[in-house]
Amino acid sequence: MSKNLLVACAAAVLTAPMLTSCGDDGPFITVYNAQHEELIAEVAPIFEEETGIEVKLRSGDDLELANQLVQEGDASPADVFLTENSPAMTLVDNAGLFTEVDQETLDLIPPEYVPSDRTWVGFMGRSTVAMYNTDALSEAEMPDSILDFADPEWEGRISYSPTGADFQAIVSAVLEMEGEQATREWLSGLADNGTEYDGNDVVMESVNSGEVDAGIAYHYYWYRDQKESGEHSDNTELHFFGDQDPGAFVSVSGAGVLASSDKQSDAQEFVNFLASVEGQQAIADSYALEYPLNPEVSLDPPVKPFAELEPPRIDVATLNSEPVTELMQEEGLL
Amino acid sequence: MASGVAVALLALVPLGFVVTYTVLIGPSEAWDLLVRPRIGELLWNTTRLVVGCMAASLVIGVGCAWVVERTDLPWRPLWHGLLVAPLAVPAFVNSFGWVSLTHAVEGYAGALLIVTLSYYPLVYLPVVASLRGLDPALEETAYSLEHGRWRTFRRVVLPQLRPAMLGGCLLVGLHLLAEFGALQMLRFPTFTTAIYDQYRSTFNGPAANMIAGVLVLCCALLLTAELRLRGHRRYSRVAHGAARPVERQRLGRARWPVAGLLAALLALAVGVPTYSLLHWLSVGSSTEFPVGELLAAAGTSLGLGAAGAALTVVLALPVAWLAIRYRSLASTAVERSTYVANALPGIVVALALVTVSIRVVQPAYQTFGLLLVAYAIMFLPRAVVSVRAALEQAPLVLDDVAHSLGAGPLATARRVTLPIIAPGIGAGAALVFLAVSTELTATLMLSPIDTSTLATEFWSASSSVAYGAAAPYALLLVLISIPATILLGRHATLAAPAEGLAR
């Protein structure tokens, strides 16, 4: 009896029409993509058009795909890995799975967005910002440093999203620049003062609705909402910290080529395209509003120019290390 | 026998993965990782959520089942259909609905409320089925012995409901141990959410795998407890005879308050998430209806759900068969071992299968075949519980009669056993379908490239700020879940020999 059912089941599997994937015979590369899918879907077709190399995307988030790559090891079907934030690149790099990125690609991007072992390259950036409710605060009342949000005067007035890799990257920046004791005090103050939400979008909504006076997030949430309708951000303004403050930290999306790939030149070509003027321009023109890192390309106004951000210099390969999670756990943020 | 053992071994792959990493890490580091305040806090959170939700689901599930089956409440079939409806709303969609309306539901109380609203039907369904199948003669006997209503319920009805209640609670408990999406949105940290946090940091994958071992222990605890409480009674009857319809308890003036309570429950469990989805559809600035993509994703979800359900049920048959027809310590061990993967977070199971399949069956890696096997491993308990319950009620003596009439084993299975257990198989398949269509992590990692399902698209949209864009996928997810939910609801009230999910 179970054999009959097995046959029936096998038939069901084989005949389910939507389950058959089309197989093209042309050259293709497999990209594990943790960047926003819609964004890469805008860039990839241009590359396909120019090179005839098809880009197959497997999309997930940073933690899933990075851990999957580590488990796959040398047998991975992936040729290229793209992330939202750099720590996922570090995770894969620590497992020794990347090969060096071509020098001509590295030359396109400022060296501070390339790790010292040159195994991946930053291709997009997102700046830390504070959003404030314009009914409650004015630009003049915003603090000079993100560290000031731990002061008692901000009690009950600030929100942030500690679970995401985004915020953890910001904490890494603080730890890198200010040391353990200062970071601990900052986190503890933030935990006392702040409301924690899951997601930068929720942080923005909480500021917009006046639930809190200010929130910590990345710049593009605000600009995207403004571009779309302003529904969740019209009562708010952005405050950039600048002046190499940890609050001006820029987190980068990385691209890297897997050492196990047997399509090295196609994979390198794709990463090169992402960093090239043409690829970066496509990213700049998309809905994403994240900063292109190639200095020859910039976002249109009203987005604050990348050159004016004054971010702190931090080694991109050291972010989200063990002490960061530990500190956040000890101060009750995770 | 061999096939049952083979299925159990397959189901234990994720456990092997966890154990291997625990050994690799070594005892001293494992001890350091496990014995720290954070773990104690997580253990406390996980325990109080699991226990609280099981208790609340029991109260709601049994209470509602009794009202629907044993009182003269008006429009009972309608209430029954509505009480099952929360099954069509995945827990993470329910959380999304609540959280995007109010952040007040974050924390323990909110998490308990929302997971209970999502999971109580897992207790309600088998209890309704059991109540429907009870012979009222026993209760009448109790009345004749001057037992009151309450005493009869407590001493006669409840003991007979015990297998159904325990089976339902077990499913609720296992689900909660592995629940991630809903609790992450509700900001209530448990072992499973902590495991995801560990994976997220750049150094700690092996440690995360090891912490999952704690979940295995919790799961073992639940399984043993359920086994002990269930006892060794057999529940099959040869024929239902012509049982009289039960005399229903008159609610009198209480009928409207009772109906009001049910309505309030449903407003919370179904009304809030539905309202929230419609709200986001209408106000979300990113709302769009890419019809082609929506239909393609819905088609893939349906196809994967159906195929996954079929395969899982087929694998569940030998396991349930062994457990019922060849009762022994070994067969119980085989059956119980299939539950372990269900208590592990999706990411642990998925990574285990990534690791094993890419080394052992490389050509099958990231094919639909392997993805279906992954679903089967993850959701086997849902099918085993249902098929087991059905088999439990198919008396062995019927097989003997068939044999004595010259029917071979295959003919007996096809003509006698299968018709009896078919409704149980259907219910199991429906439960697996619901789980597969909302599965996320294994689908992301193990599906062939370029596969998108409603669940993956929902997450992709909701994680990039686009609540409006996420809403159509969530709504479709609810819609494709409705047939399976209706099937489950009807199955529970069939006056057939098989008694739903009851064991």
Residue in B closest to A31 by C-alpha: B449
Residues of A in contact with B314 (CB under 8 A): 2, 5-6, 9
Residues of B in contact with A202 (CB under 8 A): 99, 103
Does B319 have pLDDT greater than 50?
yes
Looking from the CA of A209 toward its CB, the CA atoms found within 13 Å total 11
The token duo for B307 is: 């195929």
ipTM of the complex: 0.76
Instruction: Inspect the interface and report whether the beta carbons of A322 and B201 lie closer than 8 Å.
Output: yes
Helices (H), B158-271: 158-178, 181-185, 191-200, 205-230, 255-266
pLDDT in tens, A63-88: 788 888 988 888 899 999 999 888 88
Strands A158-160 and A98-99: unpaired
From B396's Cα to the closest Cα of chain A, the distance in A is 17
Instruction: Inspect the interface and report whether the beta carbons of A67 and B205 lie closer than 8 Å.
Output: yes
Instruction: Inspect the interface and report whether the beta carbons of B310 and A9 lie closer than 8 Å.
Output: yes
pLDDT in tens, A104-132: 988 889 888 898 888 999 999 889 899 99
Task: Measure the N-to-C terminal CA separation of chain B; round to a whole number of Å.
Answer: 21
CA–CA separation, A66 and B81 (whole Å): 43
Evaluate whether A3-124+251-304 and A126-249+321-330 have a shared fold: yes
Q: B287 touching A, CB under 8 A?
A: no
Instruction: Inspect the interface and report whether the beta carbons of A13 and B368 lie closer than 8 Å.
Output: yes
Rg (CA), chain A: 22
Instruction: Inspect the interface and report whether the beta carbons of B450 and A56 lie closer than 8 Å.
Output: yes
Task: Please give the pLDDT value at position B501.
Answer: 35
Task: Please give the pLDDT value at position A318.
Answer: 74
Considering only residues 364 to 393 of chain B, which have any Cβ-Cβ distance to chain A shorter than 8 Å? 365-366, 368-369, 372
Question: Percent of chain B, pLDDT > 90?
Answer: 11
A18, A68, A76 member nearest B351 (Cβ): A68
Q: Higher confidence at residue B479 or residue B103?
A: B479
**DSSP sequence for B302-326:** HHHHHHHHHHHHHHHHHHHHHHHHT
CA–CA separation, A292 and A141 (whole Å): 31
Choose the weakest-confidence range: A172-181, A312-321, B190-199.
A312-321
Q: Which of B200, B349, B361, B417 is best to mutate for the A interface (most A CBs within 10 A)?
A: B200
Task: Please give the pLDDT value at position A16.
Answer: 43
The token duo for A129 is: 């910002």
Could you tell me the pLDDT band of residue A334, with boundaries at 50, 70 and 90?
low
Does B244 have pLDDT greater than 60?
yes
Does B236 have pLDDT greater than 60?
no
Residues of B in contact with A163 (CB under 8 A): 184, 187, 197
Does B380 have pLDDT greater than 80?
yes
Mean pLDDT, residues B210-231: 82
Considering only residues 114 to 153 of chain B, which have any Cβ-Cβ distance to chain A shorter than 8 Å? none
The token duo for B347 is: 């990411």
CA–CA separation, A160 and A217 (whole Å): 7
Task: Provide the whole-model pTM.
Answer: 0.81
CA–CA separation, A334 and A70 (whole Å): 24
Residues 6+ apart with CB under 8 A from A4: B414
Instruction: Inspect the interface and report whether the beta carbons of A16 and B307 lie closer than 8 Å.
Output: yes
Instruction: Inspect the interface and report whether the beta carbons of A321 and B199 lie closer than 8 Å.
Output: no
Mean pLDDT, residues B434-451: 86
Could you tell me the pLDDT band of residue B203, with boundaries at 50, 70 and 90?
low
Strands A236-239 and A158-160: unpaired
Considering only residues 38 to 67 of chain B, which have any Cβ-Cβ distance to chain A shorter than 8 Å? 38
All structural domains of chain B with their residue ranges: 2-230+259-502
CA–CA separation, A38 and B22 (whole Å): 39
Does B183 have pLDDT greater than 70?
yes
Residues of B in contact with A8 (CB under 8 A): 310
Task: State the Cα torsion B487-B492-B494-B495 to the nearest 10°.
Answer: 170
All structural domains of chain A with their residue ranges: 3-124+251-304, 126-249+321-330
Give the dihedral sign, CA A161/A203/A197/B197: negative
Q: B362 touching A, CB under 8 A?
A: yes
H or E element: which one contains B245?
none
Q: Are B354 and A71 in contact (CB under 8 A)?
A: yes
H or E element: which one contains B112?
helix B108-119
A30, A64, A72 member nearest B347 (Cβ): A64
Q: Are A214 and A274 in contact (CB under 8 A)?
A: no
What φ, ψ does residue A238 adopt, rounded to 5°? -95, 145
Q: Are A29 and A270 in contact (CB under 8 A)?
A: yes
For domain B2-230+259-502, give the fold: MetI-like fold (1.10.3720)
Which CATH architecture is the domain A3-124+251-304 placed in?
Answer: 3-Layer(aba) Sandwich (3.40)
Look over chain B and give the mean of its residue pLDDT values, rounded to a whole number: 81
pLDDT in tens, B452-473: 888 888 877 766 555 677 788 8
A6, A76, A224 member nearest B465 (Cβ): A224
Q: What is the CATH number of domain A126-249+321-330?
A: 3.40.190.10
CA–CA separation, A231 and A16 (whole Å): 42
Task: Please give the pLDDT value at position B216.
Answer: 84
Task: Please give the pLDDT value at position A15.
Answer: 42
Identify the CA nearest to B433 among candidates B482, B494, B368. Answer: B482
CA–CA separation, B307 and B372 (whole Å): 7
A30, A37, A320 member nearest B201 (Cβ): A320
CA–CA separation, B230 and B223 (whole Å): 11
Q: Are A73 and A25 in contact (CB under 8 A)?
A: no
H or E element: which one contains A195?
strand A194-196
Residues 6+ apart with CB under 8 A from B479: none
Strands A120-133 and A291-292: antiparallel
Instruction: Inspect the interface and report whether the beta carbons of B205 and A56 lie closer than 8 Å.
Output: no
Could you tell me the pLDDT band of residue B288, with boundaries at 50, 70 and 90?
low
